[in-house]
Structure 1
């Protein structure tokens, strides 16, 4: 076995060996790291003869449907009373969605594998590493630790999670290790151009039209340190798009010169307001603000869901961002 990166890997391995059936679950509005983690783990467990159901409250996004095993993703469990619940890329159980959580009562253990810094412990067995760029990095280390072969199918899932959470190696969580893992996965057959094309390199005509509308809502604070974008349900209706089609839109606001923190404020089909936060300043962290609103995430990328109307949500978000920016150390 490889050198141990985390003492909890022994407990995780023991749980995987003890139980025969698993739900593998991730957070609402799953992203490439969530789906990549779920599918990589499902491949591993199925290889060892386990029964696995891959679940999330919301459908897997279009950009992840190229991944091997994506057809396993479901929104409701097929069977009740499985042995164990594995929750990946989630720091608080509520993040899997109340509706889904109410349906999942394992007869055995709950296992949590995650890399978020904020949250509420909820699992019987956990491996949480906040220094990892993605949950898929933790799973890569786990597979190395237990001498599990990483074939191309698992490799593609892990690579998707890593480029998803690092912004294709652009964000501040990109590490030397992330590049090392990527190189190793490429050696194992992963095609970087294929992953990039699916996750970052293609948009539908409706998405392009939606992007134009959203960019037209760009606003900035008086001092230019905060920028925000808005999306209404009417925009989705006019372009034939959905909430999953806005991935990456917030980066346009983040790229504006002089901006330190940004938000994307959008209406959900049920009327609630989804808010995404980003920071481009090392002393401004947005995970605490998201947590204060009932959400969570990472230091420089986080989110939450607020009650309508969107105008009230916008006021609350801007007040929170202004407090963050005003309390940050000066660049001077």
Structure 2
């Protein structure tokens, strides 16, 4: 683990590497969200714009990306790690934890590892760690770097950054939204982003299967601790019965967190596998800002932000609800 550096120092060192090195591989975390995918696309395009050799890699299990992100410029993204990895600088974007790296061998095989992220509980796994928890999203950190790299974003790069910004700020409604978030949005709109087109692609055109899955979720809401904990559990059979894929879970938690009286909202979905290996991915949201849900996630082996976090577990439904209730009480 590299020593923790002041943000300004880490920023300077990252800029040096991005300017001086010639070959890069850009990666992010498993099950990438809008900020992860937008950051991968934006950084890859920016580095190519200044003449760098860049390979952007996603895990094969994460392709194709969820429907709402398919408007991103993903044409050059691959699932194959380059053969000359040892000659490349690896840039991990929006990856808070070394355990969340799905692409094998990159961290160990790359010449240098740059870790660019905004998660406050980042495990600092890089040779240089540019971790700025004050940023609303990793896309904001990249947006801040581009002028010093001599990059003026084209429309596709700006769109990728905008997707990261909009999704991680919850359409500018989460507590991480700041004056800087809106300045960034204005700058990206000036670069050619059409906000309504981005909104429509992200949040409209909902497939029937996703609506049917939401119906299953709402039928199975559990409320504990006088409603402070609101939990939904989605089983494998729900996906099979509705025809929804895993990505259609996106957005369900936003319905759960709006229920009056909720302090912590959770959506737990069973992952594909055998009956003997039932693993569940748990997404957490802080509904009223009084609980740091990343602390709950860390107790479950995961992590994230104070307002949004998650972990993966083998606990059954009742055991999981008890665990979440105990953690909520412990962190009040």
Relative to the length of structure 2, the TM-score reads: 0.91
**For the Cα contact (< 8 Å) 1:80–1:104, is it kept in 2?**
no
Q: Which residue, 194, 201, 212 being the options, matches 1:191?
A: 194
Structure 2 matches for 1:208-223, cutoff 5 A? 208-223=211-226
| 2:160 matched residue in structure 1 | 157
The reply to whether residue 314 of structure 1 matches residue 314 of structure 2 is: no
2 CA distance for matches of 1:289 and 1:29?
20
1:7 is paired with a residue of what secondary structure?
A: helix
Superposed CA deviations along residues 145-165 of structure 1, whole A, max 9, x for unmatched, are 333212211110100000010
Deviations 1:36-90 (A, max 9, x none): 000000001112222222223322322111012x123333324352411110001
Unpaired runs of 5+ in structure 1? 328-332
Distance in 1 (CA, whole Å) between partners of 2:54 and 2:179 is 33
Q: Does 1:289 align with 2:296?
A: yes
- Determine which of 237, 241, 245 is the counterpart of 2:248: 245
Match of 1:274 among 273, 281, 287: 281
Which residue of the other structure, out of 26, 29, 33, is the alignment partner of 1:27? 29
Contact 1:155 1:190 in 2 (8 A): yes
Alignment of 1:72 onto 2:97: no
Contact in 1 for aligned 2:90/2:110 (Cα 8 Å)? no
Contact 2:139-2:161 within 8 A present in 1 as well: yes
Question: For each residue in 1:83-102, what CA deviation from the matched residue of structure 2 results, as whole angstroms up to 9, or x when unmatched?
Answer: 111100012221113xx233
- Write the distance in 2 (CA, Å) between the matches of 1:33 and 1:165: 6
Whether the 8 Å CA contact 1:227–1:254 is kept in 2: the answer is yes
Other-structure match for 1:13: 15
Aligned residue for 2:232? 229
Rounded to whole Å, the distance in 1 between the matches of 2:28 and 2:177 is 22
Kept in 2, the 8 Å contact 1:267–1:310? The answer is no
Q: Distance in 2 between matches of 1:201 and 1:51?
A: 36
Q: Name the structure 1 match of 2:134.
A: 131
SS at match of 1:6: helix
Structure 1 window deviating more from structure 2 (26-35 vs 42-51): it is 42-51
- Report SS of the residue matched to 2:104: helix
Aligned length, in residue pairs: 318
Which of 100, 111, 116 aligns to 2:114? It is 111
Per-residue CA deviation, residues 98-150 of structure 1 (Å, 9 max, x unaligned), is: xx233554441100110000031111122111000000000011113333212
Go from structure 1 to structure 2 and tell me whether the alpha carbon gap of 1:77 and 1:146 turns closer, same or farther (over 3 Å shift): closer
CA distance in 1, matches of 2:77, 2:324: 33
Q: Match of 2:175, SS?
A: coil
Q: Deviations over 1:279-328 (max 9, x none)?
A: 1222211111111211111011000111243443333233323433xx2x
Q: Distance in 2 between matches of 1:282 and 1:230?
A: 23
Structure 2: segments with no counterpart, 5+ residues: 1-6
Partner Cα separation in structure 2 for residue 232 and residue 48 of structure 1: 47
Calculate the aligned-residue CA RMSD, in Å.
1.7
Q: 1:122 to 1:222 in 2, by over 3 A?
A: closer
